[in-house]
Chains A and B, each alone.
Chain A
Amino acid sequence: MKLKRMSVNRRRKIFNIFVFGFVLLAAVLFLLPTVLTLANSFMTSNEINANYGAMLSNMTEDKKTFISTNVNLKFIPDKVTFDQYKAVLIQNSDYLMKFWNSVWLTVPITVFQMAVAILTSYGFSRYPNKFKGIIFFAYIILMIMPYQVTLVPNYLVADTFGMLDTRLSIILPAIFSPFSIFLLTKVMRRIPISYVEAAKLDGAGEFKILTKIYIPLCKGAIVSIAMLVFIDYWNMVEQPIVLMREPTLHPLSVFLSQINEKDIGLAFAIGVVYMIPTVLMFLYGEDYLVEGITYSGGIKG
């Protein structure tokens, strides 16, 4: 009997070692592009050309003979240099301008979408009635509509109000996107009514209940939803290429692909610069992201 138990324990241990090995391998694969981008951003342009030159379509013939036809993955630079960063941050203001374009689009969208979401979710979760139920249901439908569907409506509105080729044409519809309302309402509905009643006994009004009970209790969810919204719009591509014909207003997320084709070394460095805001957010909010939306099951619930 004792022997059998031991062998079960041992089998479990061995199995766990396999699991560990597998997860480690998967995790390394997941981390690879991040590490690669970071490492290659410190390479000299010669080294970049030697390794990735074959990818550039506009290489002249005489240059082509010098570089290998293979595209090589390289993780450790022969010589660490900040030249690419100098080129991105100091020598050419174009990239920084595009970076600010991204900021001026993404930050207002995130801030105002969250403000609207907090207010609306509060409205949905307090004193539910049939009418609100129908609206919430309509929001769920709207939430799953891909951009392929909302593209034309967005364009029509932007055209009518003369907002085409301005940032507002992207920001305004995005503020009312119901994704965050859906998630936050589900979290707010879980707040025990007894908290609210206790606050009421202490004489708190509805606005106080919102600011002193609902928002603090949902802080984790609010932070993690805001992170998801930010990351989503930080990488937007569809909206700018349809609603803003003027490339000077385009965010870096669209412009990056053009750099990819021209100068790979620069593209790595810009990629790293573009990663900074999301990395900072992760350092601050990863725990919220992990714990924030813990009870996010189902659709209606």
Chain B
Amino acid sequence: MKNKTKNQCGRKGERIFSNVCVLPSLLGVMIFFLVPFCIVIYYSLINNPVLKEFVGLENYTKLFSNSAFTKAAKNTAFFSLVSVPLSVVLSLGLAMLLERNIPGKSIFRTFFLSPLMVPTASVVLVWQVLFHNHGTVNQIVEAMGGHSVDWIKSSNGQLVIICMFLWKNLGYNMILFMSALCAIPKDIIEVADLEGAGSFYKFIHIKLRYLSPTILFVLILSMINSFKIFREVYLLTGNYPNDSLYMLQHFMNNTFNSLDYQKLSAAAVLFALLMIVIMAVLLIAEDIFGKDVEN
């Protein structure tokens, strides 16, 4: 009897050890993220670091009338809203294609993962060759009778960036989906086959249900990665790109260089709030879709 309680709750020393394990990370997060972020919230509510007068939400309202900020926010939102769902759908599609009985699967897998190996700056260089005014893509366009297009320095820039994002991230997302597809119990599919279910029915009612946790995971991963697209844009076009490629990180960097901490802090707090809202929505979605998988 005594032994049993010991196994379930653990001796006090053991529990303390597991708590102590969390401590270093907790301390680090406090020092490097939590406490400074509270200071950032404070900064976003005062007028300047010298006078330190509370101005309420003035910094926030100023932000919304700032054209650079609204432009950056719009561009970033557009990019994420297009590229994240696309990357989920396309990588799932690729995974399902590779699930079929085709030769050379593992080699294909390596090919699709290869973008992870290439340094971002080299990729950008290749992309510049492809999308240059007199580059490969325009040569193809002209050969087919079209007019050459300025890809990078125009509103088409978003398209180039989206391609780049998909190219880089599809491979790993595809891997995640492939292992999730493998984990779907074979007998359920077999039963559905016996009962004469079509492949569309099987996809919607069986596969998609089992895949929903992975879809959520890939969604979050893609979202995190989509905010890192600044790297490619920065390496492609520098600090002041074409209007359509002016991302939030550009705004942050340029505001940072002009030492306008109030604007910067307000933008950071706003962005954080938005992320919390998105996360809440995803968690609710997980509760709704996740439960029927477990049963």
Interface residues of A (CB under 8 A from B): 16, 19-20, 22-24, 26-34, 36-37, 52, 54-55, 69-73, 116-117, 119-120, 122-124, 126-127, 132, 135, 138-157, 172-173, 175-176, 178-179, 181, 197, 200, 205-207, 210, 228, 231-232, 234-238, 241-242, 252-253, 256-257, 260, 264, 267-268, 271-272, 274-275, 278-279, 282, 286, 289-291, 293-301
Q: Does B134 reach chain A (CB closer than 8 Å)?
A: yes
- B217 neighbours in A (Cβ, 8 Å): 296-299
Contact of B227 among A147, A206, A257 (CB under 8 A): A147
27 pairs from A and B in contact (CB 8 Å cutoff): A19-B100, A20-B102, A23-B102, A29-B167, A33-B118, A34-B115, A36-B126, A55-B128, A70-B134, A119-B22, A123-B19, A124-B22, A146-B275, A153-B36, A153-B268, A155-B256, A156-B40, A157-B36, A172-B32, A178-B29, A237-B231, A264-B125, A271-B121, A290-B109, A297-B217, A298-B286, A299-B217
Besides A26-B94, A197-B7, 16 new A-B residue pairs in contact (Cβ under 8 A), listed by A number:
A34-B118, A54-B132, A55-B129, A69-B134, A73-B130, A132-B19, A146-B249, A150-B33, A150-B37, A206-B13, A235-B231, A236-B231, A237-B235, A274-B121, A275-B117, A289-B175
Contacts A27-B108, A135-B22, A297-B214; A234 near B134 (Cβ below 8 A): no
Q: Find out whether the CB atom of B120 lies under 8 angstroms from the CB atom of A253.
A: yes
Contacts A141-B276, A237-B231; A271 near B286 (Cβ below 8 A): no
Q: Does B176 reach chain A (CB closer than 8 Å)?
A: yes
Contacts A54-B132, A149-B272, A153-B36; A176 near B25 (Cβ below 8 A): yes
Least CB distance from A174 to B in Å reads: 9
- B117 neighbours in A (Cβ, 8 Å): 34, 231, 275, 278-279, 282
Q: Find out whether the CB atom of A299 lies under 8 angstroms from the CB atom of B286.
A: yes
Q: How many A-B residue pairs have CB under 8 A?
A: 303
- A55 neighbours in B (Cβ, 8 Å): 128-129, 132
- B279 neighbours in A (Cβ, 8 Å): 140-141, 144
Q: Find out whether the CB atom of A127 lies under 8 angstroms from the CB atom of B18.
A: yes
Q: Does B261 reach chain A (CB closer than 8 Å)?
A: yes
Contact of A127 among B14, B25, B122 (CB under 8 A): B14
- B15 neighbours in A (Cβ, 8 Å): 127
Contact of B28 among A27, A116, A268, A274 (CB under 8 A): A116
Interface residues of B (CB under 8 A from A): 7, 9-10, 13-15, 17-26, 28-29, 31-33, 36-37, 39-40, 43, 94, 97-98, 100-103, 108-130, 132, 134-136, 139, 167, 170-172, 175-176, 178-180, 182-183, 212-214, 216-217, 220, 223-224, 227-228, 230-231, 234-235, 248-249, 252-253, 256, 261, 264-265, 267-268, 271-272, 275-276, 278-279, 282-283, 286, 290
Q: Find out whether the CB atom of A152 lies under 8 angstroms from the CB atom of B33.
A: no
Contacts A237-B120, A237-B234, A257-B235; A286 near B110 (Cβ below 8 A): yes
Q: Find out whether the CB atom of A271 lies under 8 angstroms from the CB atom of B125.
A: yes
Chain A minimum-CB-distance residue to B213: A297
- The answer for the CA separation of A32 and B227 in the assembled complex, in Å, is 25
- The answer for the CA separation of A270 and B116 in the assembled complex, in Å, is 17
Contacts A37-B126, A140-B279; A290 near B179 (Cβ below 8 A): yes
Q: Find out whether the CB atom of B216 lies under 8 angstroms from the CB atom of A297.
A: yes
Q: Find out whether the CB atom of A126 lies under 8 angstroms from the CB atom of B18.
A: yes
Contacts A127-B10, A290-B175, A290-B179; A142 near B33 (Cβ below 8 A): yes
Contact of B119 among A132, A147, A234 (CB under 8 A): A234
- A291 neighbours in B (Cβ, 8 Å): 179
- B253 neighbours in A (Cβ, 8 Å): 241-242
Q: Find out whether the CB atom of A268 lies under 8 angstroms from the CB atom of B119.
A: no
- A117 neighbours in B (Cβ, 8 Å): 25
Q: Find out whether the CB atom of A71 lies under 8 angstroms from the CB atom of B132.
A: yes
- The answer for the CA separation of A36 and B125 in the assembled complex, in Å, is 10
- B22 neighbours in A (Cβ, 8 Å): 119-120, 123-124, 132, 135
- The answer for the CA separation of A205 and B98 in the assembled complex, in Å, is 45
Least CB distance from A221 to B in Å reads: 12
Least CB distance from B221 to A in Å reads: 9
Q: Find out whether the CB atom of A122 lies under 8 angstroms from the CB atom of B29.
A: no
Contacts A146-B224, A268-B125, A300-B283; A237 near B230 (Cβ below 8 A): yes
- The answer for the CA separation of A179 and B224 in the assembled complex, in Å, is 10
Q: Find out whether the CB atom of B213 lies under 8 angstroms from the CB atom of A301.
A: yes
Contact of B37 among A116, A127, A153, A289 (CB under 8 A): A153
- B227 neighbours in A (Cβ, 8 Å): 146-148
- B19 neighbours in A (Cβ, 8 Å): 123, 127, 132
- B23 neighbours in A (Cβ, 8 Å): 123
- B110 neighbours in A (Cβ, 8 Å): 282, 286
Contacts A142-B33, A253-B121, A298-B217; A23 near B271 (Cβ below 8 A): no
Contacts A241-B253, A293-B176, A298-B213; A73 near B268 (Cβ below 8 A): no
Q: Find out whether the CB atom of B18 lies under 8 angstroms from the CB atom of A30.
A: no
Q: Find out whether the CB atom of A278 lies under 8 angstroms from the CB atom of B283.
A: no
